[in-house]
């Protein structure tokens, strides 16, 4: 009986989650670059997407510099590489304190670069359009970083917040644990709203 | 704890994806949801922070349908991996019936995997549960990064670090691209329902 039940569940799951190749391909966010000169750069971008360390950031910046020599005569690719260089230097300095969208922008600029560098026959207008989209994103992030810095300075003038010692969840009762988790969530939601308010303000200013 | 209603013929099981931050727990659920949303006919609930991190948990209910008179419902959860959300993790583990431990294959994340597994064990204790008596599946995620030349932990090292005592089924996977994401989920569902059935027998 138990074995019957188990095998029926296995069969049902097999039917429900049968994978077809067509949709599997569409999920692949980063296609292969083969032996293209961008191969090493791609590996580094993927690597820092997961873990930011001094050595990984240094390798990334070094690779960007050597690619700038390689693509010296392609003004559009050179602009992509410079954008990547700026954002990489910022992430290297700020690390975990980087703006939350910085890593996403690094990936987005790289994807734009890959599109431009790998698409044979793409005309100049199309290439410039992709570049301009990334430049806009870069400018927006830069403005947001400057605004945040101002806010941080204002916060410092208001006086530093006192650090609360985190209680040990193992010593908490059920309702205390729930209340503590709720406080954690509230604090992050407050931070989210602060960031959203700042973004709306920035959006209004840019109109 | 599973909800088993013999009168209504319903079994509802809770499976939690646990593991270090940035390891790919949410990506596992997103992959399943994006690929099969038309078939599972449910909505994924996810609450993320401004920096795209899991705030509270992700929740993906799956209707398996009727099997031998029982309507089977599976609830997949993730926990926030960041160290500071320990209270939330403990809360999400309440009533857990099965666990997928999503380990990060990156060589630089070796210590975080071990600490997260220890944290899981510690957080199960207040619920009077342990890893040895729960269905557990290990997933070694991000294997696709090997193709990009990124240093990864070999499978035998991951097995030694995390599965030496557990001896749980394990899968090398890529939550981003898909290999073994579904296999991991199928395995834990079958193990969990099987375990619940044995408890009932």
Mean pLDDT on B34-39: 85
CB contact under 8 A, A178 and B91: yes
Q: Closest Cα partner for B89 from B100, B102, B78, B104?
A: B78
The alpha-carbon gap from B55 to the nearest alpha carbon of chain A, in Å, equals 7
Distances (CA, A) of B92 to A192, B4, B78, B121: 22, 19, 8, 14
In angstroms, the CA B153 to CA B155 distance is 6
Q: What is the largest CA-CA distance in chain A?
A: 72
Which pLDDT does position A23 carry in this prediction? 43
Cα–Cα distance between B135 and B196 in angstroms, integer? 10
State how far the Cα of A86 lies from the Cα of A77, in Å rounded to an integer: 14
Tell me the sheet residues that pair with B74. B13, B62
**Which of B131, B132, B96, B103 is CA-nearest to residue B28?**
B103
Cα(A73)–Cα(A61) distance, integer angstroms: 20
Half-sphere exposure of A96 (CA within 13 A, CB side): 2
Mean pLDDT of B87-113: 93
ipTM computed for the complex: 0.83
State pLDDT tens for residues B123-174.
999 999 999 999 999 999 999 998 878 889 999 999 999 999 999 999 999 9
Closest Cβ–Cβ partner in A27, A51, A100 for B109: A51
Maximum Cα–Cα distance across chain B: 56
pLDDT of residue A24: 43
Would you tell me which residues 85-114 of chain A have a C-beta closer than 8 angstroms to some C-beta of chain B? 100-101, 104
Please give the pLDDT value at position A159: 52
Decide which of B103 and A168 is more confident: B103
CA distance A6 to A9: 5
Neighbours of A84 (CB within 10 A): 26
Say yes or no for a CB contact (<8 Å) between A100 and B198: no
Nearest CA to B50 out of A139, A200, A179 is that of: A200
Whether A169 and B84 lie within 8 Å, measured CB to CB: no
Instruction: Give tens-digit pLDDT for A18-33.
Output: 865 444 433 344 445 5
Q: Are B81 and B23 in contact (CB under 8 A)?
A: yes
Q: Going residue by residue through chain A (207 aa), what tens digit of pLDDT does each one get?
A: 567 778 888 988 988 888 654 444 333 444 455 567 887 888 788 777 666 778 888 888 999 998 988 888 888 999 999 999 999 999 888 877 788 788 889 989 998 998 888 887 888 889 999 999 999 999 999 888 888 887 777 766 555 444 445 556 556 666 666 777 777 777 777 777 777 777 777 777 766
Domains in chain B, CATH or no CATH each: 3-200 (3.40.50.300)
**Residues 177-206 of chain A whose Cβ lies under 8 A from any Cβ of chain B:** 177-178, 180-181, 184-185, 188-189, 191-192, 195-196
pLDDT at residue A155, rounded to an integer? 67
Domain map (residue ranges) of chain A:
31-158, 167-207
């Amino acid at each position: 009986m138990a074995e019957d039940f188990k095998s029926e569940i296995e069969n049902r799951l097999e039917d429900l989650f049968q994978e077809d190749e067509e949709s599997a391909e569409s999920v692949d966010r980063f296609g292969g670059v083969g032996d293209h000169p961008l191969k090493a750069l791609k590996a580094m971008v993927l690597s820092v997407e997961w873990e930011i360390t001094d050595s990984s950031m240094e390798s990334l910046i070094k690779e960007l510099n050597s690619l700038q020599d390689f693509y010296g005569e392609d003004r559009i690719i050179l602009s992509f590489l410079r954008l990547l260089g700026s954002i990489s230097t910022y992430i290297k300095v700020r690390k975990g304190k980087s703006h939350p969208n910085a890593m996403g922008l690094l990936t987005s600029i790289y994807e734009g670069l890959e599109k431009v560098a790998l698409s044979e026959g793409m005309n100049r207008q199309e290439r410039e359009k992709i570049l301009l989209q990334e430049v806009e994103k870069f400018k927006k992030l830069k403005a947001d970083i400057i605004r945040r810095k101002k806010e941080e300075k204002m916060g410092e003038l208001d006086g530093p917040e006192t650090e609360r010692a985190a209680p040990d969840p193992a010593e908490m009762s059920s309702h205390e644990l729930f209340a503590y988790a709720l406080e954690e969530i509230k604090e992050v939601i407050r931070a989210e709203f602060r960031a959203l308010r700042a973004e709306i303000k920035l959006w209004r200013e840019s109109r | 704890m599973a909800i088993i209603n013999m009168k209504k013929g319903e079994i509802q099981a809770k499976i939690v994806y646990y593991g270090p931050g940035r390891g790919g727990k949410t990506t596992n659920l997103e992959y399943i949801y994006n690929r099969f949303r038309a078939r599972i006919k449910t909505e994924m609930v996810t609450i993320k922070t401004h920096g795209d991190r899991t705030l509270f948990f992700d929740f993906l209910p799956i209707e398996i349908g009727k099997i031998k008179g029982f309507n089977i419902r599976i609830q997949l959860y993730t926990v926030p991996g960041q160290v500071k959300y320990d209270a939330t993790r403990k809360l999400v583990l309440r009533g857990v019936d099965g666990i997928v431990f999503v380990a990060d294959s990156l060589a630089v994340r070796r210590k975080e995997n071990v600490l997260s597994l220890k944290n899981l064990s510690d957080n199960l204790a207040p619920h009077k549960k342990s890893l040895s008596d729960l269905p557990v599946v290990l997933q070694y995620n991000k294997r696709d990064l090997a193709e990009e030349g990124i240093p990864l932990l070999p499978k035998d090292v991951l097995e030694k670090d995390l599965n030496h005592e557990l001896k749980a089924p394990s899968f090398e996977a890529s939550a981003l691209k898909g290999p073994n994401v579904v296999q991991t989920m199928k395995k834990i569902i079958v193990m969990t329902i099987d375990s619940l059935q044995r408890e009932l027998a």
